[in-house]
Amino acid sequence: MFRSTSGTRRVTLVLVALLLSALLVLPTQSQRLLQHIGVPLAPIVTLPIEALAALDRSLRDMWEGYVALHEVHEENLRLRREIELLQHQNGRLQEAASASQRLTALLEFKGRARSQTVAAQVIGRETTNWYRAVVVNKGDVDGVRVEMGVITPAGVVGRVVKTTRSASMVLLVTDPNNAITGLIQRTRDEGIVEGTAQGLARVKYLPLLSTVRAGDRVVTSGLTGGFPRGLPIGVITSIDKMEGDLFQSGDIVPDADLTRLEEVVIITAPREEADSDAASLQTQPPQQRKP
C-alpha cells in the first residue's frame, strides 16, 4: 500500500511531521483544518455505523422481544415510557406552578414549547472510554450545530460538541467536561451542573445561605447554552456544605436514563431565539412579509 520512492517517502514524512508540529503549535487552526479534511470522510464511516446500529437494535429487539419474556418486556417498556412521560409532566407542572406565583412563568412555559427541535436517533457510543458521549444520526445538513442542547421527554441529555455532515457527537450531562447552568426548582438558586468522574452529575456554586436539600429538583436556568428555562435535569441526592466554603454543592441523579438512550431531541432554537425570530418578523414592514 505504501510502496513509494525514497523521495516521496521523505516528502510524506516531512508533511506528516509538519502536520504534527502544527497540531501542537496552532491547536485552533489545526482543529479547523482537520475538521475540513474530515468532512468527506465522516459520511463513509456514518453509513456502516448506522447499518451496524440498526442490525444491533433489531437483533436486540428480537432477543428481548421474542426469546426473553415477550409480554413482560412489552409491559416493562410501556410502563417505562409512561414513567418518563409522567416525570416529564410532573416537572413541567411543578415548574409552571412555581413560576405562576411570580406571574410570568406561564408565558415562559408556553414559550418553552415553542423551541424548534429536531428528533434524532442514537446510533453509537463514544469511540474511546475517556468521554461520556453518544453519536446521533443528525448533523450539519439537518441544522444541528455545536452547543445545541439535547433532551429526551424525561430530561436533559447533554449538548452537541462536534458535528459532521450527517452525524453529531453529544457530550452527556454526566461527563466531567460538560457544564450547564441549572436552577433549583424550589429555592430558585442558580448553580453550574457538571458531570463527575463516577458518571453522575453535580450542581456547584450554590449560595451558602440557600435552603437547598436532598430531593430538590434541578432544572435548566436558560441563561446560557442551548436550553430553554425549566427543562428537568435531575434530583439532588445529597448536599455538601463544608465549613469555611463559600458555596455549597450537591450530587444529582439525572432524570434521563443515559445508559439506555435510543431517541433524543436536539433543540435547534431555544425559546429566546424563537421569540427573537418572531419579533424580527413583526418589525418587518408589511409589504416585505411573505403572504
Partner 1 sequence: MKRLLYLTLVFGLVPIQTTVLSHVSVGGIRPDLCLVAAILVGFFTGVREGFLLGLAMGFVQDLFSAGVLWLNLVTKGSVGFLGGVAGRYVANATTLTALAGILGLSLMSGTVFLLTVGPAGFRDASFAVRAVLLPQAMWDAALGAGLYWLLAKRVRRQRAILEGPTGLGSLIR
Give the x-and-dash track for 19-38 against partner 1 (CB under 8 A): -x--x---x--xx--xx-xx
Nearer to partner 1, 35 or 104 (CB): 35
Tell me the three state secondary structure of residue 134: strand
Which residues, numbered 250-279, are part of the site for partner 1 (CB under 8 A)? none
Nearer to partner 1, 37 or 93 (CB): 37
Nearer to partner 1, 266 or 274 (CB): 266
Q: Is 169 in the site for partner 1 (CB under 8 A)?
A: yes
Tell me the three state secondary structure of residue 152: strand
**10 Å Cβ neighbour count for 197?**
8
Q: Which of 199, 190, 195, 116 is nearest to 161 (CA)?
A: 195
Q: Is 2 in the site for partner 1 (CB under 8 A)?
A: yes
The rounded distance, in Å, linking the Cα atoms of 61 and 235 is 31
Would strands 116-125 and 263-269 be described as parallel, antiparallel, or unpaired? antiparallel
Q: Is 280 in the site for partner 1 (CB under 8 A)?
A: no
Burial pattern 105-125, b for ≥16 Cβ within 10 A else e, equals beebbebbeebebbebbbbbe
Taking CB under 8 A as the criterion, the residue among 124, 182, 230, 250 binding partner 1 is 124
Q: Where does this chain bind partner 1 (CB under 8 A)?
A: 1-2, 9, 12, 16, 20, 23, 27, 30-31, 34-35, 37-38, 41-42, 44-45, 48-49, 51-53, 56, 123-131, 133, 135, 161-162, 164, 167, 169, 171, 175-177, 196-199
